[in-house]
Structure 1
Amino acid sequence: MEDRDEFVDFLGQLVSSEQLEGPAGGIAKKVVADGSMSGLTRNQHYALMAGVTSWLGGNFAGYKTRSVEFGESPPAPTCSECPNEMPWSEVFLAENGRCSWCQNVHHKDED
């Protein structure tokens, strides 16, 4: 359940920054207001996943989707430099698709 809470928080970041367009944006607002995806219909869930997947694909090169069961959140992206799946709490602010640890190492290398 903790992953779901992080995913809802991630949706909140997308909503507040107006990063989701069309039906996905409105559905994400509903999920954030409700605090979960449990109230979505299958069509709403599908539209939301399509919007989130599109955003992830545009921000994480090589983001691969898998079939997501009704009511499930999609898999979080993998860091572009290490093989670890990123926590949803880091996804919105990730630079160049890097997890916070790899981003920190990258910044130290620049100093």
Structure 2
Amino acid sequence: MLARTEIAMQMLEPWLAPWCAGIFLTLCTSAQAAEFKVDVIQFEPLACRVSDGGAGESYAGVLHDCMREFERRSGPTALLTLTPYARVELDLKSAATDFSLLVWSDGRTR
């Protein structure tokens, strides 16, 4: 998983990271929120649940890494929720989450 995450991050980083950072920082400065609810698509290598072998669980993946870097650089925290792809748009429409990072698709142009 880690090797795929690192490869995917290297492929996405030149255009995804600066774009996402701009959106995240815009949200942070306009809303002045201390924390944001973020739906993260539950799909490898974007984000997945990993067990540390003990009682705790954590997340891994490209979007998880991007969000943690944005937190480090901007200050506000992001409460990540692994969400099935089909439910992300519903959560956004119903304001159950503040934002999500999605991959472009003609089906979601609206």
Question: Under TM normalisation by the shorter chain, which class is it?
Answer: under 0.3
TM-score (norm. length: structure 1)? 0.28
Q: Higher relative contact order at CA 8 Å, sep ≥6: structure 1 or structure 2?
A: 2
TM-score (norm. length: structure 2)? 0.28
